[in-house]
Structure 1
Amino acid sequence: MRQDNATCRALCTETISPGDAKFINDRIREDYAINWLVDGLPAAEMKEDKRTGELFFDMGFNLGNDEGQFEEMPALHNHYDIVLR
């Protein structure tokens, strides 16, 4: 546990091999999700139903993004804002 209060500090650095990067990008394109349990409760992501415009909580959250500007080269989500309710 950190002893000081800080935001946006790198905790580690890692170089990903081309083979591992392809594997991760393939999983992002397959819409893999990360599922966390916090105090025994599942983490969820707020999403909008494109058909009805209704907001809902979807279990887990996407591993990355492969839409819009990231269609050719997916982006791995590696920074999370966590809100506990």
Structure 2
Amino acid sequence: MKLIALKQIYFGYSVLNQGQEFETTEPHGRELLKKGYAKTPEALQPAEQTEQTEQTEQTEPPEPPEPPEPTEPTPDSNAGGKKSKAK
């Protein structure tokens, strides 16, 4: 049974990292799935396809934003920086 580790798993005298694909027996694989330590590669593919479909729908060119109306500049009281005393 092929699985993908969701957490670090000590397996076969080594540690599997998150996202690493590995193969194990059916009973051991079902136990890891039940405990949430792993997932099947097939479980990942339908979700990715759905996300890709949604992303392609969202990539339609948006309407160009209207240019902002020009506004008159307002003087900023702090534009001169720090004022010092005249000597």
Q: Which has the higher strand share?
A: 1
Q: What TM-score, normalized by structure 1, do the two folds share?
A: 0.18
Q: Which has the larger radius of gyration?
A: 2
Q: Which has the higher helix share?
A: 2
TM-score scaled by length of structure 2: 0.18
